[in-house]
Structure formats: structure tokens, C-alpha cells
Amino acid sequence: MVCNELNVTFIPAFDDISHMSIDLSWKDDISKFLISYDENRNGNVNTEVAMRKEGSEEWQTLYNGYDVHYVKEDLQPDTKYYFRLRLRNKDGVGEWSKQATAKTLKTPLTGIDIHRSVKQGSALLLREVLEKGEANIEAPDNLGFTPLMLAAQKNMLEMLEILLDYNANPNTKNDTGKTALMFAAFKGNLECMEALLESGADVNAVDHSGLSALHLATDGEQTRAIKLLVKNGANLENRDFGLGWTPLIRCAGLKNNGNVDVACELIRAGAQIDALDNDGKTALHNCVMVNHHTLCEILLKHGARLDLTTNTGYNAFTLAESSGNQKLVQLITDYSEKRKTV
């Protein structure tokens, strides 16, 4: 039954609006209404709130009770909604109020938008996203890459410089502890490396395995990257946390490396040729164990010692002998004899 005493002139107010929710309130207006309304005589008043979406004629009841505010969630972004309310008591119901209109906000930008802009290589789009200041510039993608790491790895210098202009941190690490500089070093992306170093990238930062950018440049067989890192203060004797390998030992000890140019660049830069790893093995010992014949010869030419023994008592000759590699046995024998005559 319609009860004219319950007719209202106010509409729902909006305390807060996001891209997915609208917070409605009628606290102040209902308080004023109740001052002139005798609840003792007419009974308690409750509020019914209804909503419809733009483009729809169907009203949906959102709330019916004695509270003075309601939060409607799970709305669509950038969409207009209409709200109305009416009052009820034990005797009847008032007329619906006029409509209140609210529009949800656009979906805020996120790290996904930054990553998408970088992948597209669009400087304009990337600047637009970053200028709004909504998205986290350090947000990782599903592989754990920040936008800066992605740009560094893909050699996207313009994207990388824009990210740095907007204060991307060159020393942010991913889940394995790697930085953008490490990814650029592995790929030999020199211009990206230079931009990162100029922006304060830590040349001697290490990942969770103790690998530095110099280790990664060695793994990637990037001689020019090695030269750039050393020029900027890279420690040639940084050791990983597992085997205690320096970059030179790592070059010698990895089966898929043994790159002579890389080793020569490290030696030329001042790497200790007879540095020992955690097992007491030198670069030469490790080189013999994985049969890098050419690199063994280079190390010997640069004066690698033949008398040093590992923690288990092997020297370069006995390691070569135990591996059955007669070519290496002969090489080491020849150098041993040559040194005796000097």
C-alpha cells in the first residue's frame, strides 16, 4: 500500500566510485527525514534501493533493510548506472525517489599495459601509460620480467630509455636475483648496457647463485660486453655461490663454452689465470675435465701452472690421463717439457 508519509525528496548519494564498485549512502538525508517522522507512532522505517544499468529498463533490487549505506560491487568499468530508493514501514511503502546517476571509472592501468606497450615497441603508447602514473613500473610479467628487464633482453633501447626516464629501477631483481643489466650482458646488448650503467646499475650485483653480469656475459660469449663491464668496474674474481667459479673458470669449465675469445678478453683484462675454485681446481683443471683442447692451449700459452693440484690431488696431467684424452695428455706433456728447457 502506498504511504505518502514515506515519500522522499532525496536521492542516494555516492561516497566512493571505483571501476568496479559504487558506494551509496543516504545517511544524512534519512536522518533529516526521521526528525519529522514519528517512528514510535508509525513504526520503524527501512530503505529499499534499486539499480538499473544504462541501456536496460529493468530495475534490480540491491538492498532492503535498516542500514544507511550500501556498496554495489562487481560492476562493469566505464559504465553508467542509475539508482533510486524508497522507504517502507509496517503500513506501506513510499514512492520511488528520483534517479541518481553514477558512472564507474575506467579500468586503471596496470603493469600489463606497460609490458604490452614495450612488446609493441610503441614509444607513444608507453609514454601515455607511464604519464598517468597508475601502473607499477616494476610489475613483473608471468616470467618474472620487469618491463626494464624485457627491454634490456630484447635490445629495445628506446623502450629502455623511456622506462629509465620514468624512474624504473635498474637494480630491481627477478625471482632468481637477476637484474636488467645481467639480461643485457648475456645477449651482448651494448647500448642497453651503457644506458643501464649510466642510470646506476650495479655492475657487481649477483643473482641467487652468485652470478654477476660478467658471469652472464661470459656464458653468452659476449666479448664486447665483457670489455664494457670491466671498464665500468666489474670484479673479474667474483665467484658463484656453488662451485666458487670466477668468470674465467666458468668459461673453461662449462661444456658448452670454452670460448677462446672470451677467455682471452678476461685474461687481457687481468683475470687471475690460476685462481682456485671450491674444489681447488683452476681454469686449466676444469678445461681439461671437459676437453676444451684449444682453450687448454691458450691457458698454457698464458702461463697456467701445471704443478697445482686439486683438493683430491690431481694436476692437469693426471686429470687428462684419467679422462683418456691422449691429445690433451700430449699437449700438457709438450708444454711441461718446453718449460723445463726455459
Out of 103, 134, 164, a domain closes at 103
- CATH number (domain holding residue 273): 1.25.40.20
DSSP 184-196: HHHHT-HHHHHHH
CA–CA distance, 150 with 119 (Å, rounded to integer): 8
DSSP 289-304: HTT-HHHHHHHHHTT-
Residue 186 placed within a domain: no
Extract the C-alpha cell encoding 178. Answer: 637477476
Residue 137 placed within a domain: no
Report the predicted TM-score, pTM, of the whole model to 2 decimal places.
0.79
Residue 14 placed within a domain: yes
- CATH number (domain holding residue 8): 2.60.40.10
Out of 79, 103, 127, a domain closes at 103
Amino acid at position 234, single letter = A
Residue 114 placed within a domain: no
DSSP 107-163: PPP-HHHHHHHHHHT-HHHHHHHHHHT-S-TT---TTS--HHHHHHHTT-HHHHHHH
Residue 145 placed within a domain: no
Strand residue runs (E) in the chain: 13-17, 22-25, 46-53, 60-65, 69-72, 80-89, 92-93, 100-103
Q: How many domains does the chain fold into?
A: 2
Give the residue-averaged pLDDT of 166-185: 98
CA–CA distance, 117 with 126 (Å, rounded to integer): 5
Residue 220 placed within a domain: no
Residue 48 pairs with which residues in a beta bridge? 64, 86
**Mean pLDDT across the chain:** 95
Question: 37-80: per-residue pLDDT in tens?
Answer: 765 555 688 999 999 999 999 999 999 999 999 999 999 999 99
- pLDDT value for 39: 59
Residue 133 placed within a domain: no
Question: 82-102: per-residue pLDDT in tens?
Answer: 999 999 988 889 999 999 999
Q: Domain range spanning residue 283?
A: 246-256+267-342
**pLDDT at position 131 over 90:** yes
CA–CA distance, 186 with 217 (Å, rounded to integer): 4
- pLDDT value for 338: 87
**What single-letter DSSP state applies at residue 176?**
T
Residue 61 placed within a domain: yes
Q: 183, exposed or middle or buried, with CB in 10 Å at 0-12, 13-18, 19+? A: buried
**pLDDT at position 22 over 80:** yes
Nearest to 207 by CA among 229, 238, 233: 238
Out of 71, 87, 103, a domain closes at 103
Contacts of 299 by beta carbon, 8 Å cutoff, 6+ apart: 252, 263, 273, 283, 284, 287
